[in-house]
């Protein structure tokens, strides 16, 4: 039987879609579990590869480079300490009224020529003490 020009098989059906479309496979629980399993496998492979590289000659070479870098950093720290400490001690020595040049010469046990060179390199303590104040810094 034909109703409104349609065949009998399609007469009573309506083609309406109600509500949102069904969720895709990526949001289903089994897909999430599959993603997590893949992530675990990938992490395990990465860890195994990293362990293999660390145990090989590349890892040995890398650890030696790190040791050299540590020694380099320690040396740089020691040099910085000396460069900062030595001028600080000279200024403290001058502030207490002693001559920093004489202290250096006596402590290091320098000969006459070296003592003359130290006298030529370092100014007298009076100029250093005068420059310690804010106004003294502008004066010299």
CA 28 to chain centre: 42
pLDDT the model gives residue 124: 64
pLDDT the model gives residue 60: 83
Domain count, the chain: 1
The span from the CA of 103 to the CA of 110, in Å, is 11
At 140, is the secondary structure helix, strand, or coil?
coil
At 5, is the secondary structure helix, strand, or coil?
coil
Contact call for residues 123 and 91 (beta carbons, < 8 A): no
**Residue 44 structural domain:** 30-139
pLDDT the model gives residue 53: 78
Contact call for residues 118 and 101 (beta carbons, < 8 A): yes
- pLDDT of 121 strictly over 70: yes
Question: The tokens of 134 are what?
Answer: 């804010």
In a domain, 18, yes or no: no
In a domain, 4, yes or no: no
pLDDT the model gives residue 33: 82
In a domain, 22, yes or no: no
In a domain, 23, yes or no: no
In a domain, 20, yes or no: no
In a domain, 124, yes or no: yes
In a domain, 14, yes or no: no
The span from the CA of 119 to the CA of 41, in Å, is 72
- pLDDT of 16 strictly over 60: no
pLDDT the model gives residue 111: 93
Mean pLDDT, the chain, integer: 75
pLDDT the model gives residue 22: 54
pLDDT in tens, 50-107: 888 778 887 788 888 887 888 888 899 999 998 888 888 877 887 787 888 888 888 8
Scanning the chain, the segments in alpha helix (DSSP H) are 29-55, 57-95, 100-108, 112-121, 125-130, 134-139
The span from the CA of 48 to the CA of 83, in Å, is 46
Reported as a pLDDT band with limits 50, 70 and 90, residue 138 is low
pLDDT the model gives residue 65: 80
pLDDT the model gives residue 6: 52
């Amino acid at each position: 039987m034909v109703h409104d020009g349609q065949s009998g098989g399609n007469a009573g059906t309506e083609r309406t879609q109600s509500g949102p479309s069904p969720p895709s496979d990526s949001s289903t629980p089994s897909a999430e579990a599959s993603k997590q399993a893949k992530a675990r496998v990938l992490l395990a492979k990465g860890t195994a590869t990293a362990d293999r590289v660390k145990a090989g000659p590349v890892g040995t070479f890398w650890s030696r480079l790190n040791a050299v870098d540590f020694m380099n950093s320690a040396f740089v720290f020691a040099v910085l300490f000396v460069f900062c400490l030595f001028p600080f001690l000279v200024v403290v020595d001058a502030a207490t009224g002693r001559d920093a040049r004489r202290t250096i010469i006596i402590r290091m046990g320098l000969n006459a020529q070296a003592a003359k060179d130290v006298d030529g390199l370092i100014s007298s303590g009076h100029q250093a003490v005068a420059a310690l104040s804010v106004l003294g810094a502008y004066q010299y």
